[in-house]
Amino acid sequence: MIQTTFSSYLAESWNKIGEIKILKPGGMTLDFSIDALNLTIPKCKINENIKILDVGAGFGVLSIYASTNYPNSEIIATDISKCMIDSLNYSIQGNQIKNVTAKVMDGQSMPELQSESFDYCFSMFGLIYFPDRLKSLKEMYRLLKSNNNSKVSIGSWQSDAFLPMVLEKTYEKVTVGSSGGLKLTSKQPALSLDDKVLFKSELEQAGFKNVEIHSIGHPLEVTTESLSNYLRPENPVVDDFFKLIGDDNINKFKETFINLVLELFPKNENGFHIVPWNSYIGIGEKL
Ligand SMILES: C[S@@+](CC[C@H](N)C(=O)[O-])C[C@H]1O[C@@H](n2cnc3c(N)ncnc32)[C@H](O)[C@@H]1O
């Protein structure tokens, strides 16, 4: 089996998700986004007119939450996928939100944004999918104000985050042959910053100081019936594995994934599988 380039590194793969018509974007990245906001923005600034940039904003989980919890903030939410920005605009218009502007933009190069114009820049589980992370981090550095305690705040998955972890274990199991299961020859994008040391060094290479990498977990209760929902090909993270194993093996892959979850995280007395979702939140300061 030839390992192709992971499609979750490609902008167009994120458009396959399609427009999502949700007024209050949530899901499992919300708790991590709230953590990142709390760890990054001091409480005394909550009501100030701070400028926030959200890069790889998706359909706006962090931005929509921040719009009401930082009521005097001005937020620019950017994403390379037009679908995501259309979904975010649906939520902005439906909630009559005045302090969020959504723009289609490649997070690796944002020339239409002025240098030194933001107080805080976030990328929750976005930067990890950019082909050139360092270029993007340098761009975020350019956009943050100097001498202002400005901070960048990045969310990345740890290697035991539920979906990428079980996808990888499933791949190894499905490809098992006489020489054992296949290992990925390069990291899947979802886990591209699962190394604390690498994460810190990339933030420092971009110019950030006083870098701290926080480790945060939000285990999730899932039902057996809901497990197949994680295996939608519209999700580029899942589709990467479907492409690796080929169309003929997709059903086997799905079955193995579900059996692995049952084995690794047996149902508790309430009928739920408690699955781990662990992330790093890396925060650096521009002096
Ligand atoms: C897993 S989603 C995360 C969305 C959101 N931040 C959240 O926490 O729910 C990753 C997002 O990164 C975006 N993305 C991927 N490559 C990008 C790039 N080069 N520039 C900007 N956004 C990008 C995708 O379109 C997608 O919306």
Query: What digits encode the pLDDT tens for the residues 79-123?
Result: 999 999 999 999 999 999 999 999 999 999 999 999 999 999 999
Give the percent of the chain with pLDDT over 90: 89
Nearest to 155 by CA among 88, 213, 70, 228: 213
What does pTM read for this prediction? 0.96
Q: How does pLDDT run across 9-56, given as a tens digit for each residue? A: 988 899 888 778 888 898 899 999 999 999 999 999 999 999 999 999
Query: With 50 as the cut, is the pLDDT of residue 1 above it?
Result: no
pLDDT at 177: 80
The pick from 8, 13, 125 for probing ligand 1's pocket by mutation, whose C-beta has the most ligand atoms within 8 angstroms, reads: 125
Nearest to 73 by CA among 83, 65, 81: 65
pLDDT at 5: 77
pLDDT at 86: 95
Q: 104: which strand partners?
A: 79
Q: Is residue 241 part of a domain?
A: no
Q: 181: CA distance to ligand 1 center in Å?
A: 31
Residues in CB range of 265: below 8 A, 6 or more apart: 273, 274, 275
Going from the C-alpha of 47 to that of each of 70, 81, 117, 125, the distances in angstroms are 6, 31, 18, 26
Q: Is residue 270 part of a domain?
A: no
pLDDT at 173: 95
Give the percent of the chain with pLDDT over 70: 99
pLDDT at 3: 37
pLDDT at 285: 98
Give ∠ CA 197-121-281 in degrees, rounded to 5.
35
Nearest to 84 by CA among 147, 31, 16: 16
Indicate if ligand 1 lies below 6 Å from the C-beta of 28: no
Q: Is residue 224 part of a domain?
A: no
Indicate if ligand 1 lies below 6 Å from the C-beta of 129: yes
Per-residue pLDDT band at 181 (split at 50, 70, 90): confident
Average pLDDT of 133-160? 98
Indicate if ligand 1 lies below 6 Å from the C-beta of 59: no
What is the C-alpha separation between 254 and 252, in angstroms, rounded? 6
> Which residues span the domain enclosing 87?
7-159+188-219+278-286
Q: Is residue 180 part of a domain?
A: no
What is the C-alpha separation between 42 and 172, in angstroms, rounded? 44
Query: With 90 as the cut, is the pLDDT of residue 178 above it?
Result: no
pLDDT at 22: 85
pLDDT at 19: 79
Mean pLDDT of the chain, nearest integer: 95
Indicate if ligand 1 lies below 6 Å from the C-beta of 137: no
Structural domains counted in the chain? 1
Q: Is residue 31 part of a domain?
A: yes
pLDDT at 23: 85
Nearest to 68 by CA among 98, 105, 108, 111: 98
Average pLDDT of 189-198? 97
Q: Is residue 147 part of a domain?
A: yes
Q: What is the DSSP-derived secondary structure letter of residue 217?
A: E
For residue 199, give the CATH number of its domain.
Answer: 3.40.50.150
What is the C-alpha separation between 120 and 281, in angstroms, rounded? 14
The pick from 76, 80, 108 for probing ligand 1's pocket by mutation, whose C-beta has the most ligand atoms within 8 angstroms, reads: 80
